[in-house]
């Protein structure tokens, strides 16, 4: 057992919230909730996913949430920058997300309310959930939405979760942060 928590933002820039396939679903979902709890305490911690392939003969998993990064160039330093700053989202292929002006990892200034817009492509049947520092908003079977967020705290955030009918995450975004200004 380790003394360090994977959610210690003084030690770690990111935490792997989804590892492997469906065999680890319960542990992965517990990790997602712990990550959201960490965000709600005001900590900035990037979420990533992974899968352990131990040899070249290991089969590609049938269910694997993959990282999608926002990069200026396809070089290692850009990938590391994107991880450190949360400029990514996790999804099951072939699902893609357009965030318009709300790229994960960015800070958006707001006065009374903030606008958040997203669109899912190639999505399976499921529901979208918006999570902020103090609220959870179930948007239902929505694949494209523009919402005005009110009653945000200074240094608030938005995370988008897209879940299938069984509650399995198919999309998990890193937060967009909001600051009054």
179: β partners:
109
pLDDT 10s digits, 7-20: 777 778 888 998 87
The reported pTM is 0.89
- Asked if 179 and 28 touch (Cβ cutoff 8 Å), the reply is no
Domain boundary assignment for the chain: 14-180
On the question of pLDDT at 58 being above 90, the answer is no
- Asked if 128 and 161 touch (Cβ cutoff 8 Å), the reply is yes
Query: 14-180 domain in CATH 3.40.50.300?
Result: no
Q: What is the DSSP annotation of 67-109?
A: EEE--SSSSHHHHHHHHHHT-EEEEETT-EEE-TT--TT-EEE
Spatial CB neighbours of 115, under 8 Å, sequence gap ≥ 6: 101, 102, 146, 147, 148, 149
Query: Nearest CA to 22 among 65, 67, 57, 59?
Result: 65
- Asked if 86 and 173 touch (Cβ cutoff 8 Å), the reply is no
CB-count exposure of residue 122 (10 Å: 0-12, 13-18, 19+) = exposed
**Region of poorest pLDDT, from 19-28, 41-50, 78-87:** 19-28
Q: How many Å apart are CA 31 and CA 138, to the nearest integer? A: 20
On the question of pLDDT at 159 being above 90, the answer is yes
pLDDT for res 62: 63
Query: Nearest CA to 99 among 77, 64, 127, 68?
Result: 68
């Amino acid at each position: 057992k380790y003394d360090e928590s994977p959610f210690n933002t003084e030690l770690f820039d990111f935490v792997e919230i989804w590892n492997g396939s469906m065999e680890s679903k319960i542990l992965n979902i517990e990790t997602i909730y712990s990550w959201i709890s960490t965000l709600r305490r005001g900590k900035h911690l990037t979420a990533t996913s992974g899968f352990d392939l131990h040899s070249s003969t290991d089969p590609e998993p049938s269910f694997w949430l993959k990282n999608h990064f926002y990069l200026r160039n396809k070089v290692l330093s850009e990938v590391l920058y994107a991880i450190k700053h949360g400029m990514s989202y996790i999804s099951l292929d072939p699902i893609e997300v357009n965030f318009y002006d709300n790229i994960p990892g960015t800070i958006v200034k707001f006065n009374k309310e903030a606008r958040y817009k997203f669109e899912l492509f190639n999505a399976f049947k499921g529901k979208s959930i918006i999570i902020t520092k103090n609220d959870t908003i179930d948007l239902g079977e929505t694949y494209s939405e523009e919402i005005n967020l009110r009653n945000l705290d200074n240094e608030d955030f938005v995370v988008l979760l897209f879940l299938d009918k069984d509650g399995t995450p198919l999309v998990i975004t890193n937060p967009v942060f909001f600051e009054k200004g």
